Amino acid sequence: MNVLVADDHALVRAGLIGVLSQLAPEPRVFEAANAAEVMDCLAGGTELDLVLLDLFMPGAVELDLLRHVCSAADSVPVVVLSASESAAHVRAALELGAAGYVPKSSPSELLISALKLVLAGGVYLPPALMQATPQPADVKTSRLPQNGALSTLLTRRQQEVLRLLGRGWSNKQIARALAVSDNTVKVHVAGVLRLLGASNRTEAVMLAQQRGFEFDAE
C-alpha cells in the first residue's frame, strides 16, 4: 500500500507511519513537510492508495492545498488530519472532496478504524459532528417539509448531486458532468444519504421528493 503522509511536524509523521504499519504490512510511505513537497509527490506519477493530509500546511493558503490534492489525486481517498475540531472545517473539507476527517486528538485505534472505513469505500466523520448533525427524525416536520428548508441543510454541490441522482446517473456520469473526481462524488453522495437518513440512493431521491425537493427534468 502506497501512502502519502503530509504534515509539517516530523514527530506527527513518525506517529502516523507507526499507525499505518498496523493497517497494512510494510506500507510504502512518502513524506511531505510542506505544500510544495505534497504537490511534487503527486506530480511524480506515484500510484497512491491513500493520502493523509494536515489541513493547514506551510506554503498553502487556507484550504487551497486540500482542493488541489483532491483534484490531483482523483480517485485516491484523501483523509484530513487536523488539530481543528471545528464543524465548519470538517464540512469544508468534505465539500472539497475529502473522504474523511480525523482530529489529531483522536486515539490511534480510532484512526485505524477510520482509515479502514475509507479504504473500503466509506466516508469517515468525527462522532461528535455526527451527533451534532440534525437527523431526519428530529427535524422531519419543522425543518424539512419543503424544498427551501431541505436546501438549507444541503450544500449547493450536494443539491447538484442529488438532482443527478434523481436521473439515475452513476457516480462516473455525475463526476463527468460536474467536472470533479469520482471520489468527490462519492463523498457528496454519502453526505446526502446521511443528511436524509437514507440507506441507498433510490431512498434518498424518494425522501427528497416527499420533502418537496425540486428535481430538474432531463
Range of the domain at 175: 134-210
Amino acid in position 85: E
C-alpha to C-alpha distance for 6 and 17, rounded to whole angstroms: 11
Contacts of 168 (CB under 8 A, 6+ apart): none
Domain co-membership, 145 together with 172: yes
Question: DSSP E strands: which ranges in 55-130?
Answer: 78-82, 100-103
CA-to-CA distance for 151 and 172, rounded, in angstroms? 24
User: What is the residue-level pLDDT of the chain in tens, covering all 218 positions?
Assistant: 999 999 999 999 999 999 998 888 888 999 999 999 999 998 887 789 999 999 999 998 888 999 899 888 767 899 999 998 888 888 888 888 888 899 998 888 889 988 988 887 777 877 665 544 444 333 333 334 344 466 667 888 888 999 898 888 888 889 889 988 888 888 888 888 888 888 788 788 888 887 888 876 55
| 105 and 160 assigned to the same domain | no
User: Which of residues 82, 110, 127 is at a domain's end?
Assistant: 127
Name the pTM for this structure. Answer: 0.64
Report pLDDT for 217: 56
Residues 80 and 141 in one domain: no
Say whether both 65 and 104 belong to one domain. Answer: yes
Q: Same domain for 34 and 83?
A: yes
96 and 28 fall within a common domain: yes
CB 77 within 8 A of CB 50: yes
Looking at residue 129, its pLDDT comes to 56
Distance CA 173, CA 179 (A): 10
- Tell me the residue ranges of DSSP E strands in the chain: 2-6, 28-32, 50-54, 78-82, 100-103
Residue 53: which of 71, 74, 33, 72 has the closest Cα? 33
Task: Tell which residue, 175, 190, 19, 28, has the closest CA to residue 118.
Answer: 190
Lookup: cell for 167:
436521473
In this prediction, residue 53 carries a pLDDT of 96
Grid cell in block for residue 19: 499507525
Domain tally for the chain?
2
Q: Is residue 216 part of a domain?
A: no
